[in-house]
Amino acid sequence: MGIVVDSSARFETTVPVVVIGAGGAGATAALAARSAGAEVLVLEREAAPSGATASSSGMVPAAGTVEQKERGIVDTPQRFADDIQAKANGCANAALVAALTHASAQVLEWLTKEHGIRFELVEGIAPGHSLSRMHALADRGGATLLSSLYSALGTQGVRLESSAHVTDLVVDDAQRIVAVRYRRNGKTETVGCKSLVLACNGFAGNKALVAQYLPDVRGLPFAGHDGSQGDAISWGAALGAQLADIDGFLAHGAVVLSQRLPLPWSLMTEGAVQVNRDGERFVNEHEGYSESALFVLAQPGGLAFMIYDERVHEIGLTMPNYATAVASGVIKRETILRDLAEQLGVQREGLEATIAFVNALAFDDASDEFGREFRATQMLLGPYYGVPVTGALLGTEGGLAIDAAGRVLRKNGSPFANLFAAGGAARGVSGDAAGGYLEGNGLLTAVVGGYIAGNSAAALVTG
Ligand SMILES: Cc1cc2nc3c(=O)[nH]c(=O)nc-3n(C[C@H](O)[C@H](O)[C@H](O)COP(=O)(O)OP(=O)(O)OC[C@H]3O[C@@H](n4cnc5c(N)ncnc54)[C@H](O)[C@@H]3O)c2cc1C
């Protein structure tokens, strides 16, 4: 990944707004820029675009939406911002949090009204949120969200070139981006641009960068999208951009690694427990799923087992990732715990003692030594289900420092003239430490951040 300085270069083709990456951030940025009147080109390295966005739950948090109002839920950007900051220990960038939370409802309304991408409010309250504010398409899942965005791009006449791996940014003496170079079908091509949006996610898939910036999590297997190679921060660093919140990350403590499949955390909040090979619990499973990954990594073999019952299983079946796991055969079901322990390779006495103990706590509506509160309605009763899981790294939350308009900032705080970033390419709103990730932060910065960056990029060329 390089920067080429060339003030006199002329290009056969120039497109006013170029977007690198066709995940949630890139697709939304492109749609926003096109809606604002700019001609847009999206360049995507994969032959079949998907990004981390397609693996996500597709749930976008937003405050003050029509869907919330219809249910009588009174939410505000401030309340949403307070929840984000509570999880991030007050360390999330306040200007960015304000920009994203204020725009969130408007962006979902815009997608619905202008582009026919219809969101509904997801039942229940996601961990760390003070009320229901997750929104998803009827079909659920990130793949559906992304394909709806692609359809809208097609309708709007936006060109998306796949198998187009951007390698270099061409800049003039004033560090204005004048073109990008990319490899396609074995050839190097160059396209000029007036505005550039970096939407190529973070560096979680790049072992060397993870070891450099996130040494504490380098032991975690990677279960994100392989396109997350840190190209945005490599270009940014070469240009003298500021990197921010670089210690932040998104991990998950219940991943079916063979399929890179994070299981819905609501299984935990609905009553599932996590045990190690000895059948012992080791964490409050109601803490966030991101920080739980490191607890799982610390168990023998870096393995844990989710244990639950028919009631929890039925709830899981309503969620795409869980249904996929069931279809793949990794979920085991047995009438009695002894047989489940044998199937999973978990120590039987340990597992039986753990389930008896948590059921006793549930009977009394009591808490355990990790601070988890158990409820009588969530006692675990046979038949039992179990699945082996690992902790895994899904993404990074640090990235290029941006302002509230999505403009990439230099180390001295001044913005580059025509360089924008959104989604995982930019700093997120999870602060700079483990455990700052609030559910939905990834898609908030991708979808809402993409909208903001796309509009800003378009304003440069249409205004
Ligand atoms: C398994 C999984 C589950 C998740 N679940 C959730 C969830 O439930 N809720 C939530 O909010 N977040 C979730 N996240 C995080 C969320 O998916 C991401 O934060 C978000 O999708 C990032 O969007 P993006 O557009 O920045 O990146 P992506 O969707 O990854 O898109 C970036 C694109 O850029 C392309 N690219 C990279 N480099 C180049 C280059 N040099 N040239 C051209 N193209 C390039 C990549 O191939 C990729 O397609 C999850 C992540 C994973 C991996």
- Decide: 349 and 278 in contact? Cβ < 8 Å: no
* Cis peptide preceding 383, ω within 30 of 0: yes
Distance 26 CA to ligand 1 centre (A): 10
- Cα→Cα distances 212→204, 234, 236, 277, Å: 11, 13, 16, 32
Beta strand segments in 226-278, E: 243-244, 249-256, 261-262, 273-275
- The tokens describing 274, both together, are 């996590």
428 ligand 1 Cβ < 6 A: no
- Decide: 420 and 408 in contact? Cβ < 8 Å: yes
Question: Which one of 161, 165, 200 would you pick to mutate in the ligand 1 pocket, going by the greatest count of ligand atoms within 8 A of its CB?
Answer: 200
Could you list the pLDDT tens digit for every one of the 463 residues in the chain? Answer: 799 998 888 898 999 999 999 999 999 999 999 999 999 999 999 999 999 999 998 999 999 999 999 999 999 999 999 999 999 999 999 999 999 999 999 999 999 999 999 999 998 888 899 999 999 999 888 999 999 999 999 999 999 999 999 999 999 999 999 999 999 999 999 999 999 999 999 999 999 999 999 999 999 999 999 999 999 999 999 999 999 999 999 999 999 998 889 999 889 999 999 999 999 999 999 888 898 999 999 999 999 999 999 999 999 998 878 999 999 999 999 999 999 999 999 999 999 999 999 999 999 999 999 999 999 999 999 999 999 999 999 999 999 999 999 999 999 999 999 999 999 999 999 999 878 999 999 999 999 999 999 999 999 999 7
| Residue 457 CB partners (closer than 8 Å, separation 6+) | 17, 19, 29, 33, 38, 195, 196, 197, 406, 418, 420
Element (H, E) at 399: strand 399-400
Distance 396 CA to ligand 1 centre (A): 10
Question: Which one of 3, 42, 56, 83 would you pick to mutate in the ligand 1 pocket, going by the greatest count of ligand atoms within 8 A of its CB?
Answer: 56
The answer, as to whether pTM is greater than 0.85, is: yes
424 ligand 1 Cβ < 6 A: yes
What is the rounded distance in angstroms from the CA atom of residue 228 to the CA atom of residue 213?
14
Q: Residue for token digits 């989710």?
A: 306
DSSP string, 265-293: THHHHTT-EEE-TTS-B-S-TTS-HHHHH
The protein residue whose alpha carbon is closest to atom 14 in ligand 1 is 56
Distance 453 CA to ligand 1 centre (A): 16
Distance 52 CA to ligand 1 centre (A): 3
Question: Which one of 43, 53, 190 would you pick to mutate in the ligand 1 pocket, going by the greatest count of ligand atoms within 8 A of its CB?
Answer: 53
394 ligand 1 Cβ < 6 A: yes
